[in-house]
Structure 1
Amino acid sequence: MISSRPEPFAYEHALPSSTVRLYHIALSPFCRKVRLVLAEKRIEVELVEDRYWEPGTELLRRNPAGKLPVLRMDGRLMAESQAICEYLDETIPNPSLMPASAIERYEVRRLCAWFDDKFNTEATQPVMNERVWKKVMKTGYPDSRTVKSGLKAIKDHMDYLTSLLETRRWLAGNTMSLADFTAAAHFSCLDYISDVDWDRSGLLQEWYATIKSRPAFRSLLADHLPGVPPAPHYAELDF
């Protein structure tokens, strides 16, 4: 379903209008969130890695905000992962990732914002920046205090999410939603480097194992960032 082939932006105008292309970077929770939705909707997509920190990147031309992912679909370049995911869910409604009622959709959006803002700021970003991106981008050595703070935040967030799962089948309610894919996108990045203490919460581990087993997750489990190998258990469904 998914192929990965780098190609210069200059050729983009020659793409057939039906071609769906995602400019992304591995281990970005925002890119992974969109990848999960595309796969769940069974949309064939071409993945193009954009190492935006290297010379020659065209990221600012595709998205003036300078952020990934960028989706080329329906003759448009689209940015912002939440907006992309809701566009996909509205235009390809089956399977639906947003609930029927307004209050349920509110809860999904609240949790998506929780992960993309609060969880990312306190946990994903500091840990990944220090332990992965400084090495990949060659910008220095990890700051142990920042890593320690991020790891503590992961545990605090896990406790909160466990309290939600004590009364719900999924994070936002009794049906799987975009909130679950958003959360899984963040946890999968941290799990790649073995920074999630799954023994802390059996409920959360069971939730992640369930969503990790979905076909939509397969391409994420095949990711391998050069110079940063995944944890031994990363691709295992029974962990």
Structure 2
Amino acid sequence: MTSSLSKRNTMVLYGLENDIHSHRVRIVLAEKSVAYDTVNIKMSAPPLELIEVNPSLSLPTLVDRELVLYGSEIIMEYLDERLPYPPLMPIYPVAKARCRLMMHRINEDWYTLIPKIEQKDQAAKKELIDSLISISSMLEEPPYFMTDEFTLVDCCVIPLFLRLKHWGCAIPKHATGLWDYIKKVMKKESVMQSLTATEKVWLTELLQSGD
């Protein structure tokens, strides 16, 4: 690939503003304390340099010198291996496989509902909330999402949880494990650093609904 982007010294993240998949990557970048440039694009007028390196315009797209990656999970795992501290996946194969399986289930069970929820589908909203309530008690003991360490699994669920109030998905007060998790992780420095101005508003609205 010969491109002006490859001459940059910092990583470049292309995505739609306030996009949930870009947010997953932004949390990882903040957790790794890495300098990067963000380019929010409009699909109606994508920048020429992005078309040059990624004609399909799959988003988010990360450019790291000569390397071009797209797909949030691929980017997240690359960043975790490229920037090993702090680690966001377990060292041991069994624990790592469990994290990957959990990420797969989150994508299949929850993220697939998002397009319907954004279209005001009440059945999809209920399905998501019912599923979250069902795992609430599992979040009461470990400090993070069913584990003792902050992992890529947390980076997947945090953007989704943050948008619940914005989507009109009300978390009942009795889901204490879920609320405790939300209130704890949303205070994390890397999470706060990852937020856009709009996402900060969504977070405020979410936390107010839990008081």
Counterpart of 1:187 in structure 2 is: 161
Runs of at least 5 residues in structure 2 that lack an aligned partner in the other structure:
none
User: Would the aligned equivalents of 2:183 and 2:207 in 1 still touch at CA under 8 Å?
Assistant: no
SS at match of 1:77: strand
Shift of 1:92: 0.9
CA distance in 1, matches of 2:63, 2:105: 26
Letter aligned with residue 96 of structure 1: P
| Counterpart selection for 2:72 from 72, 81, 88 | 81
Counterpart of 1:152 in structure 2 is: 126
The answer to whether structure 1 residue 125 and structure 2 residue 97 are counterparts is no
The answer to whether structure 1 residue 202 and structure 2 residue 192 are counterparts is no
Shift of 1:126: 1.6
User: Would the aligned equivalents of 1:172 and 1:180 in 2 still touch at CA under 8 Å?
Assistant: no
Counterpart of 2:136 in structure 1 is: 162
Q: 1:198 to 1:178 in 2, by over 3 A?
A: farther
Flag as ranges the 4+ runs of structure 1 deviating above 3 A: 14-17, 55-66, 166-169, 191-194, 219-222, 229-232
Shift of 1:177: 0.8
Shift of 1:96: 0.6
| Counterpart selection for 1:233 from 200, 205, 210 | 205
Shift of 1:207: 0.8
TM-score by length of 2: 0.83
Letter aligned with residue 210 of structure 1: K
Counterpart of 2:145 in structure 1 is: 171
| Counterpart selection for 2:35 from 24, 28, 44 | 44
User: Would the aligned equivalents of 1:194 and 1:231 in 2 still touch at CA under 8 Å?
Assistant: no
Q: 1:160 to 1:35 in 2, by over 3 A?
A: same
Runs of at least 5 residues in structure 1 that lack an aligned partner in the other structure:
1-11, 131-143
C-alpha deviations, 1:202-224, integer Å up to 9, x for none? Answer: 11111111111111122444432
The answer to whether structure 1 residue 215 and structure 2 residue 189 are counterparts is yes
| Counterpart selection for 2:22 from 23, 28, 31 | 31
Q: 1:43 to 1:56 in 2, by over 3 A?
A: closer
CA distance in 1, matches of 2:206, 2:148: 27
Shift of 1:103: 1.5
Q: 1:162 to 1:78 in 2, by over 3 A?
A: same
Shift of 1:88: 0.8
CA distance in 1, matches of 2:8, 2:166: 35
Cα RMSD, aligned residues only: 2.7
CA distance in 2, matches of 1:34, 1:167: 26
TM-score by length of 1: 0.75
CA distance in 1, matches of 2:188, 2:83: 19
Count of matched residue pairs: 206
Q: 1:211 to 1:167 in 2, by over 3 A?
A: closer
Q: 1:172 to 1:231 in 2, by over 3 A?
A: closer
Q: 1:60 to 1:15 in 2, by over 3 A?
A: closer
Q: Which moved more, 1:67-76 or 1:39-48?
A: 67-76
SS at match of 2:173: helix
